Amino acid sequence: MMQAMLLKEQKKPLKLCEVPIPRPNAEQVLIRVHACGVCRTDLHVFDGDLTEPKLPLILGHEIVGEIVEVGENVRDLKMGERVGVPWLGFTDGTCRYCQRGMENLCENPLFTGYTMDGGFAEYTVAYQRYCFRLPESYGDVEAAPLLCAGLIGYRTYHLAGEGIENLGIYGFGAAAHIIAQVAKQQGKHIYAFTRPGDKDAQEFALRLGADWAGDSDSMPPILLDAALLFAPVGDLIVHALRATVRGGVVVSGGIHMSDIPSFPYHLLWEERVIRSVANLTRQDGIEFFNLIANNPVKTEVESFPLEHANEALDKLRRGELQGAAVLVI
Ligand SMILES: [Zn+2]
Ligand SMILES: [Zn+2]
């Protein structure tokens, strides 16, 4: 048996329970979880914004742990190896999207901590194809937020395109604090937008290398070439469009957002682009972990014991975290 924080019903606090240790199938490994990050998507599952979780469910898709058992068809992973498990937990490999290199859009996916059990537990199982080797220079706790905040942040940044000088980041939480460091290393100027009046978050952004920080409804001192959105607030799309240059790109990194208000067409005109990001590909993971192995980023984490997962979710909801929450197991 193992201890797990179980979501039995959406909107009801997680409960510490004893449940059987899962058995890996032929394509899976069993992982002893060392650390698991707490992501805004966990909050969306908890709150019922995402409507199709398996129940009861173990949340958590930023898992770092050690392989303690391998399924019979597992070839590339060994007992004792450290791996990371991300949100995308399985794809069919055969649908039109998988066949075109867009496995992030697979028609028959499984998601860690949503349609499969995740890492708010002592053990979890994961498909061998969706385990990442992590750069050794990162400790377990520091590495956990890289598995979603880092990876989705990277994909969001990547989809903003080439040739960016001035990059806006709306919502300065876990994803932003990682990707701002990557962008800074690549010579971008960073403009950080936070909840109006959130001076702590603005100072945090400046400390991590932002060139400017201000309220999300204000204009930056210079127009942005691209804007990345990590806060689930539809109004930000309109604020960001207003703050971008002609041909600028606004990329929304979240899985859920409040409705986008209507806005005059001229904000979109001049070839501005709005796009979203869904999930990740394994290729994103390979690129991202190579990049940060050679160009280290520092993740700021607040750690909680497993049984305090509800407190971590509450702090995330209230915007009281600087950086990322991580359960240490
Ligand atoms: Zn597919
Ligand atoms: Zn996530």
CATH of the domain at 307: 3.90.180.10
Residue 114 is predicted with a pLDDT of 98
Domain boundary among 258, 276, 294: 276
**Residue 261, domain CATH:** 3.40.50.720
User: Per the omega criterion (within 30 degrees of 0), is the bond before 261 cis?
Assistant: no
Same domain as 251, residue 168: yes
Same domain, 124 and 221: no
Query: Both 283 and 191 in a single domain?
Result: no
Domain count within the chain? 2
Ligand 2 geometric centre to CA of 40 (Å): 6
3 state SS of 134: coil
Same domain flag for 206 and 178: yes
Ligand nearest to the CA of 112: 2
Structure tokens at 110: 């499984």
Ligand 1 mean position, distance from CA 127 (Å): 15
- Ligand with an atom nearest the CA of residue 45: 2
Q: Are residues 12 and 71 in the same domain?
A: yes
> Which range of residues forms the domain containing residue 207?
151-276
Ligand nearest to the CA of 108: 1
**Could you tell me the distance, in angstroms and rounded to a whole number, from the CA of residue 23 to the centre of ligand 1?**
24
Question: Is there a single domain that holds both residue 164 and residue 133?
Answer: no
On whether both 15 and 62 belong to a single domain, the answer is yes
pTM, full prediction: 0.94
Per-residue confidence in pLDDT tens, the chain, 329 aa: 999 999 999 999 999 999 999 999 999 999 999 999 999 999 999 999 999 999 999 999 999 999 999 999 999 999 999 999 999 999 999 999 999 999 999 999 999 999 999 999 999 999 999 999 999 999 999 999 999 999 999 999 999 998 999 999 999 999 999 999 999 999 999 999 999 999 999 999 999 999 999 999 999 999 999 999 999 999 999 999 999 999 999 999 999 999 999 999 999 999 999 999 999 999 999 999 999 999 999 999 999 999 999 999 999 999 899 889 999 99
- Both 311 and 243 in one domain: the answer is no
Instruction: For residues 34 and 139, state if they share a domain.
Output: yes
HEC secondary structure over 146-196: HHCHHHHHHHHHHHCCCCCCEEEEECCCHHHHHHHHHHHHCCCEEEEEECC
Whether 294 and 268 map to the same domain: the answer is no
Give yes or no: residues 184 and 69 share one domain: no
pLDDT at 323: 87
CA of 148 from ligand 1 middle (Å) equals: 20
139 and 12 inside one domain: yes
- Find, among 137, 130, 120, 139, the residue nearest to 84 by Cα: 130
